[in-house]
């Protein structure tokens, strides 16, 4: 399983998600263009010393990212408020890549059309969205629970 960030634009959230990847032994893909340099102080502050333990891959663009996913047989599952399928009703697989959009704008229509599946986190009526790092943790936890992939203590 992997986590992928589509053109992230808030370094603190990206750092938190990279830390999540390190702690759960999950590789993290960054799809450029990134809205900040990966040397940004806020990213390092959020990721702390965990950043040296994360398996991170950068992709020049979404097309290259999708080509690699297809070539390796991975499904790409988009986390989005625009989906109707709750993440708890989706059957995750061990080789899934969980894709999160930009904090400021989500993902464009062509990304919605290119992914294999889209899931959402059920929320109270009138609420727009969760913080992207929180959403990543919630869905990743469910995906790891379903697949039995939590790291052994």
- Specify the CATH class of 2-147 in words: alpha beta
Task: Tell me the per-residue pLDDT of 101-120, one tens digit each, with 9 for 90 and over.
Answer: 999 899 999 999 999 999 99
Task: Tell me the per-residue pLDDT of 116-131, one tens digit each, with 9 for 90 and over.
Answer: 999 999 999 999 999 9
CA dist., res. 125 & res. 127, Å (int) = 6
**Whole-number Cα distances in Å, 59 to 62, 63, 73, 89, 120:** 7, 9, 17, 30, 25
The answer to whether 20 and 133 are in contact (CB under 8 A) is yes
Cα-Cα end-to-end distance for the chain: 18
Q: What is the pTM of this model?
A: 0.94
Task: Tell me the per-residue pLDDT of 15-73, one tens digit each, with 9 for 90 and over.
Answer: 999 999 999 999 999 999 988 777 767 667 766 778 888 999 999 999 999 999 999 99
3-class secondary structure, 77: strand
């Amino acid at each position: 399983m992997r986590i992928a960030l589509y053109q992230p634009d808030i370094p603190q959230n990206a750092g938190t998600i990279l830390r999540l990847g390190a702690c759960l032994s999950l590789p993290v893909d960054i799809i450029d263009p990134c809205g900040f340099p990966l040397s940004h102080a806020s990213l390092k502050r959020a990721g702390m010393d965990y950043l040296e333990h994360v398996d991170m891959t950068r992709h020049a663009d979404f097309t290259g990212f999708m080509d690699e996913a297809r070539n390796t047989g991975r499904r790409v599952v988009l986390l989005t408020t625009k989906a109707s399928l709750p993440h708890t009703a989706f059957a995750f697989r061990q080789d899934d890549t969980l894709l999160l959009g930009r904090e400021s704008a989500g993902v464009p229509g062509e990304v919605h059309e290119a992914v294999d599946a889209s899931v959402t986190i059920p929320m109270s009526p009138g609420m727009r969205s969760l913080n992207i790092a929180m959403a990543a943790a919630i869905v990743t936890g469910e995906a790891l629970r379903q697949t039995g992939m939590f790291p052994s203590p």
